[in-house]
Structure 1
């Protein structure tokens, strides 16, 4: 019930008809006039400050600061000014009144501090904590969208733009990740971007857990690197590159392919049981058995020093590399066995050095370089020491091969030194080590090594040429 003393409504200030009032139609018409102004309210403008001379009947304006005119000058800023029956009337808008501004085509609302734009038609949004389109954003995904297509197009010059469209994505530092992750059933399948460094990388995955780098663009040179180049490299090379945890780069990848191609062409690839390019781009690649990655890979013992593109260096006291491969396994029931090692450094030329030998058991496959006596010697399937005479240097490619049951041949840099008599007695089953022979250790640097079936002089020369080409092209020697 309306209190008897009330003269008008609480919110819109509509005048009430009073009991016993004369000319009630005047009060009623005044109330209807206010309703006509306030219901579905629309104003001509909120920026016009000069009172119009010939306004339309019923015209509404929101008065700005410093409005001028006979009627407007006395009205408060922010008030509604209505033209009716030849005159202007000021109306105080109630809080919450929504008004459509015709000359701006926007919706505004009256608040405690004045007129503000309605958020439903924002000009800009700042400092949002989350935004979801068709779904709900969360702490991990401050922006989330669930839709079937999206369009981004450049603002044209005619619209005040430049006609260009550029997305700028930024990360804090080189070690961070900036990428596009492509998923299938919420499981990652491809990732493109700056992933942990500043080179452009494409990675792929079959299951979202195991990832393989497929392409890398060097940020300095612009060169493309293909860790796995199925269409360009032979299967044996692909097998090697797939086993590398880090890409060797395009140049090294093709040089490895050239080396394997040369060994295959000479019929040597099938004769090898192990091939180690220890002067590799990183230590994981240096340990890898390129002939069968994952089988008889090198196992460093007591931390021989490694330097990229140089190889492993022994300390002469206890550091060495275990092949896990025995001479008896190499021979596979026969007598023919060969082994080679490429030394780029020998810091103790005055003492005997043992770059290859058994880690325990019978010494039936070992090499010795003895500068003090001028001899390069070896044991291969016998306890009898085969002496090859003086090697031209204490570094280079040393190779031994048992060519039958009666003789062993020695080579330096692919050149035959001697083939002395050495009766075969059998091979031991202990593991073969690099930079070690039983309790003796080498302090030199190994750039490459190999183990396999016996080879003749022509085969040794071909293997040396292929290995020397790789070492030269990669800058090792």
Structure 2
């Protein structure tokens, strides 16, 4: 029951009718006028500082700081000024009152610190502390939604948009996590994102506790790694993958791994100093020394041409590849030395072509193939030419090996062409080049090349078989 001494309502300050009151309609009309101002409150403006000269009856304004005019200057800033029956009346708004500002098309709410924007209505809400759709938000999940489907679509150009739709998700720094977590029964099963660093990672879990990384995309190189599968690759293969600016396909990776595996099994891998699969997917990979990436990688000189999946081609004039490795360093104080080149395309007709040899200095390691006769000859540890005879073709895998101080052997496609008497006199220190021998150049294409300590016949055959298996699948052989 309302106490007898109460003159108005507690919150909206609506005047009460009193017992025995005369002219009760005056009090009732005053209450209704106040209700008309406060219920579904809409103000004309909050920025007009002087009372308008011809306001509409019932017009309502929020009085700004510094208001002028006899009526408004006497009112409290932030209060309401209502025009009715030819005059202005101040109305004190209660805390929590929501008012729609017509000239701004924005919704305000009155708080302890004054009027605060809620946002444009009905298409804008700013600075919400939480939002729940079909469920409640909380301190951990400021946005929460419980629903069965959701649709996001781009605003079309005809609607004033760009036709694009892009989500921008941001984290504070590289050590933080930015991810999408997929759960089953509130237990994690998969997660994708920038998880603890800035590489893109996909992880999976059987129980939400134990997690296994399935895919990683290196942010620097774009290389796609499969950690579980990569763990099965040989360490040497993983070293090559790390050195590649652009990752090879999985099929190519496994072919390379099979090549290294076969060479290790045949006892050839440890004897190699340099191995180049120049029939690669890009020119950077075609320069890598697979045996020790970063050491004795190839350097193109004077613009040899690279063709993906085929290799480097010389112009027969001045284009070649520098290994940075001398015959003297290759022999490392010993006698045994071996070298091989896989020619993938016929050189121009004419005299001898030189797929391998010194760029300068003493000619103690070189190979020559006659494009007219097919004759194969070489120098290894001596300035004297050793001729092995005609090969079945001027393309394919040519290699030489000195395994003693008295003889040098020549092979074509793993088959011995001849073992020629050749007295050892020593090795020179000039850099070894591909597609070059001193001032002579090769006009064919090199799909693979290698430099090693001396190989016997079985090792030479095993090396050829391993290279053939790899190059046949790329179409270079």
Shared topology, TM-score over 0.5? yes
Report what 1:120 is aligned to.
118
TM-score, normalising length from structure 1? 0.66
Cα distance, 1:165 vs. partner? 3.0
1:400-428 deviations in Å (ceiling 9; x for gaps): 00010000000000000000100000000
Report what 1:153 is aligned to.
145
The verdict on how the C-alpha distance between 1:227 and 1:475 changes in structure 2, with shifts beyond 3 A counting, is farther
The verdict on how the C-alpha distance between 1:173 and 1:248 changes in structure 2, with shifts beyond 3 A counting, is farther
Task: Decide which of 153, 156, 164 is 2:149's aligned counterpart.
Answer: 164
User: In structure 2, what is the Cα distance between the partners aligned to 1:173 and 1:261?
Assistant: 52
The verdict on how the C-alpha distance between 1:164 and 1:391 changes in structure 2, with shifts beyond 3 A counting, is same
The verdict on how the C-alpha distance between 1:237 and 1:252 changes in structure 2, with shifts beyond 3 A counting, is same
User: In structure 2, what is the Cα distance between the partners aligned to 1:202 and 1:133?
Assistant: 36
Give runs of aligned pairs for residues 197-212 of structure 1, distance below 5 A.
202-204=216-218, 211-212=220-221
Query: What SS is found at the alignment partner of 2:280?
Result: coil
> Is 1:109 aligned to residue 107 of structure 2?
no
Report what 1:440 is aligned to.
440
Cα distance, 1:375 vs. partner? 1.6
Report what 2:4 is aligned to.
none
Query: What SS is found at the alignment partner of 2:447?
Result: strand
Report what 2:424 is aligned to.
424
The verdict on how the C-alpha distance between 1:272 and 1:110 changes in structure 2, with shifts beyond 3 A counting, is closer
Give runs of aligned pairs for residues 42-121 of structure 1, distance below 5 A.
42-43=38-39, 107-109=98-100, 111=102, 117-118=107-108, 120=118
User: In structure 2, what is the Cα distance between the partners aligned to 1:260 and 1:288?
Assistant: 14
> Is 1:315 aligned to residue 315 of structure 2?
yes
Give runs of aligned pairs for residues 141-290 of structure 1, distance below 5 A.
149-155=141-147, 163-165=148-150, 183-184=173-174, 189-192=197-200, 202-204=216-218, 211-213=220-222, 215=224, 226=226, 229-290=229-290
Give runs of aligned pairs for residues 322-401 of structure 1, distance below 5 A.
322-401=322-401
Report what 2:135 is aligned to.
none
User: In structure 1, what is the Cα distance between the partners aligned to 2:92 and 2:315?
Assistant: 86
RMSD: 4.1
Report what 1:86 is aligned to.
none
Uncovered stretches (5+) of structure 2, i.e. residues with no partner: 1-20, 44-55, 61-82, 109-116, 130-138, 156-161, 178-195, 202-214
The verdict on how the C-alpha distance between 1:232 and 1:415 changes in structure 2, with shifts beyond 3 A counting, is same
> Is 1:38 aligned to residue 52 of structure 2?
no
The verdict on how the C-alpha distance between 1:343 and 1:106 changes in structure 2, with shifts beyond 3 A counting, is farther
The verdict on how the C-alpha distance between 1:112 and 1:419 changes in structure 2, with shifts beyond 3 A counting, is closer
Cα distance, 1:125 vs. partner? 3.5
1:208-252 deviations in Å (ceiling 9; x for gaps): xxx35453xxxxxxxxx6499532211111001000010111111
What is the number of residues matched between the two proteins?
366
The verdict on how the C-alpha distance between 1:153 and 1:444 changes in structure 2, with shifts beyond 3 A counting, is same
User: In structure 2, what is the Cα distance between the partners aligned to 1:428 and 1:307?
Assistant: 32
User: In structure 1, what is the Cα distance between the partners aligned to 2:257 and 2:90?
Assistant: 77
1:41-66 deviations in Å (ceiling 9; x for gaps): 554x89xxxxxxxxxxxxxx99xxxx
The verdict on how the C-alpha distance between 1:36 and 1:457 changes in structure 2, with shifts beyond 3 A counting, is same
The verdict on how the C-alpha distance between 1:97 and 1:474 changes in structure 2, with shifts beyond 3 A counting, is farther
Contact 1:226-1:249 within 8 A present in 2 as well: no
Contact 2:347-2:442 within 8 A present in 1 as well: no
1:321-341 deviations in Å (ceiling 9; x for gaps): 000001011111110000000
The verdict on how the C-alpha distance between 1:121 and 1:329 changes in structure 2, with shifts beyond 3 A counting, is closer
The verdict on how the C-alpha distance between 1:309 and 1:276 changes in structure 2, with shifts beyond 3 A counting, is same
Query: What SS is found at the alignment partner of 2:263?
Result: helix
Query: What SS is found at the alignment partner of 1:419?
Result: strand
The verdict on how the C-alpha distance between 1:132 and 1:121 changes in structure 2, with shifts beyond 3 A counting, is closer
1:3-62 deviations in Å (ceiling 9; x for gaps): xxxxxxxxxxxxxxxxxxxxxx8799737842564269554x89xxxxxxxxxxxxxx99
User: In structure 2, what is the Cα distance between the partners aligned to 1:323 and 1:178?
Assistant: 48
Which deviates more from structure 2 when the two are superposed, residues 371-380 or residues 267-276?
Answer: 371-380
Contact 2:302-2:318 within 8 A present in 1 as well: yes
1:82-135 deviations in Å (ceiling 9; x for gaps): xxxxxxxx96797998999xxxx994436469x975452755446x9xx7778x
